[in-house]
Homo-oligomer: A and B are copies of this chain.
């Protein structure tokens, strides 16, 4: 089956989903309207103590700027996903999913939302993944420059409508994926995220 016959799934603004991705399958995450972020988690199916790790990925890839050709490593030093295509070239693996606590901290005057963290926790619960097992997500399309003095800032994503990233699964995985809920990460607008699985 070719990619163009695959069904596109839509993640509604400020929500999240989880699904199974088998070894050898490809996941394409698409920014349909531009300037949106998708938090991505990957756990090894059937052994969810193994999960993507920003630290192990920075170790082995020797960079924090991950794009085509880079791999996402687990806490047990195995490759879980590799990036095969990337039309944006800017993602973040430093910051955690937005949560009730981050909303209270960063947006004290605004309504509190459970954020990507709450959305991921609910979506992943059926696979036995509890909140404390949720690490830093790979924040697809998120624009977090690090200045020379080490300070980090969250800028509007650079993605345009239709931009996408394609990841190959190296293990049988459970994927968590969101359309981000935070004001800063998507320039203050809440938009959907689309994705497609090529089996």
Give the docked Cα–Cα distance between A135 and B51 (Å). Answer: 11
- Measured CB to CB, the closest approach of chain B to A39, in angstroms, equals 11
A58 close to B (CB within 8 Å): yes
- Measured CB to CB, the closest approach of chain B to A124, in angstroms, equals 15
Give the docked Cα–Cα distance between A149 and B146 (Å). Answer: 10
Total A residues in contact with B, Cβ cutoff 8 Å: 35
Q: Is the CB of A59 within 8 A of B95?
A: yes
Could you give, for residues 166-195 of chain A, a 1 whenever the CB lies within 8 Å of some chain B CB and a 0 otherwise? Answer: 000000000000000000000000000000
Q: Which residues 80-104 in A have Cβ within 8 Å of B in the complex?
A: 94-96, 99, 101-102
Q: Which residues 41-86 in A have Cβ within 8 Å of B in the complex?
A: 49-50, 53-56, 58-60, 62-65, 75-77
> Which residues in B have their C-beta under 8 angstroms from that of A110?
none
A150 close to B (CB within 8 Å): yes
Give the docked Cα–Cα distance between A56 and B152 (Å). Answer: 13
Q: Is the CB of A55 within 8 A of B136?
A: yes
Q: Is the CB of B54 within 8 A of A146?
A: no
> Which residues in B have their C-beta under 8 angstroms from that of A58?
94-95, 152
Q: Is the CB of A150 within 8 A of B96?
A: no
Q: Is the CB of A75 within 8 A of B150?
A: no
What would 5 A/B residue contacts be, using CB atoms closer than 8 Å?
A50-B132, A55-B94, A55-B135, A59-B102, A63-B152
Query: Could you list which residues of chain A lie within 8 angstroms of chain B, going by C-beta atoms?
Result: 49-50, 53-56, 58-60, 62-65, 75-77, 94-96, 99, 101-102, 105, 130, 132, 134-136, 146, 148-153
